Amino acid sequence: MILLLNNHGHPDERFNEYVQRASQFYAEQLFTKQLLRHLVITLKFNKHLDAFGYSSIEKRNTKGAAREFLIELHPYISGVEILKTLAHEFVHIKQYVEGDLNDSQTEWKGEAIDSDAVDYYSLPWEIEAFGLEVGLFTNFAKKEVLWNVFEGVRNPDAVVEAEPIGWLNEDKLSKTKRPSVAASSEGQDTRKVSSSDGQGRKKHEHGSTRGGRTTLREWLKSFSFLD
């Protein structure tokens, strides 16, 4: 695999090394050695994205198979979130390479799917990407011992220690009546990143021109100050 990380790397240059190693690790888990020799992936950070990450097909070979791709990541989320998002995007690249997902995200494994009529989190390609994302990142974290490097990473093999549930605003909650899940999560859509006009993107579209994914991460209220 050829991985291109040019001058659009992460602002913290120390982090680019982890991005490169994670990319190589994820690719080796998802593709055969023979296939890896034919893949070209350009990776860059873009602070103007309205989501955590995007992936897209850039070029196909003479047989029409997708072989060159672009992954864009938002630089102003945590290192852990970037590495998880990167894993997710690599799964989407796998789906393009294997022909499971078409450019316009209207077909999955040969079956027509109306993306607008299906809940985003029920789309088959997103179910697969979310599931594999967890395993890919966890195994990379274990390989790199990331709990000694970044905040928010846990050793999955460590002894479980007792921790509080972590209710928000515990002092304001009644001991006999808790708010509903819907009420307690109001205003905290954890998949979306605000655009400069404050309007969050509801879902990503995967395609050859501007593909990507919505994220299930902490809500970033506004990036307008970064313009």
Convert the pLDDT of each residue in 79-120 to its tens digit.
999 999 999 999 999 999 999 999 888 999 999 999 999 998
Cβ-count burial 13-34 (b if 16+ within 10 Å, e if not): eebeebbeebbebbbebbbeee
Residue 196 is assigned to a structural domain of this protein: yes
pLDDT above 50 (res 216):
no
Q: What average pLDDT does the segment 54-70 reach? A: 95
CATH of the domain at 16: 3.40.390
Residue 160 is assigned to a structural domain of this protein: no
Q: Are 59 and 68 in contact (CB under 8 A)?
A: yes
pTM: 0.76
What is the radius of gyration, based on Cα positions, of the chain?
Answer: 19
**And the tokens for 194?**
């605000």
Question: Residue 222: pLDDT band by 50, 70, 90 thresholds?
Answer: very low
Instruction: Give the full edge-to-edge strand order of the sheet including 66-73.
Output: 2-4, 40-45, 66-73, 53-60
The set of residues, in sequence order, having a beta carbon less than 8 Å from that of 128 and lying 6+ positions away, is 91, 95
Q: What is the pLDDT of residue 177?
A: 55
Residue 227 is assigned to a structural domain of this protein: no
Q: Are 212 and 191 in contact (CB under 8 A)?
A: no
Domain ranges, residue 126: 2-155+188-214
Maximum mean pLDDT: which of 6-10, 171-175, 176-180? 6-10
Question: Residue 193: pLDDT band by 50, 70, 90 thresholds?
Answer: low
Q: How far apart are CA 23 and CA 87, in angstroms?
A: 8
| Residue 102: alpha-carbon gap to chain centroid | 19
Residue 102 is assigned to a structural domain of this protein: yes
Domain count along the chain: 1
Question: Residue 6: pLDDT band by 50, 70, 90 thresholds?
Answer: confident
Question: Residue 27: pLDDT band by 50, 70, 90 thresholds?
Answer: very high
pLDDT above 80 (res 188):
no
Q: What is the pLDDT of residue 103?
A: 87
- Please report which helix (H) or strand (E) contains residue 138, including its range: helix 124-144
**Across the strands, what pairs with 45?**
73
Q: Kindly report the average pLDDT of the chain as a whole number.
A: 82
Q: What angle do CA 55, 156, 74 make, to 5 degrees?
A: 25
Residue 33 is assigned to a structural domain of this protein: yes
Residue 177 is assigned to a structural domain of this protein: no
Mind listing the pLDDT tens digit for each residue in 111-147?
999 999 999 899 999 999 999 999 999 999 999 999 9
Residue 165 is assigned to a structural domain of this protein: no
Residue 173 is assigned to a structural domain of this protein: no
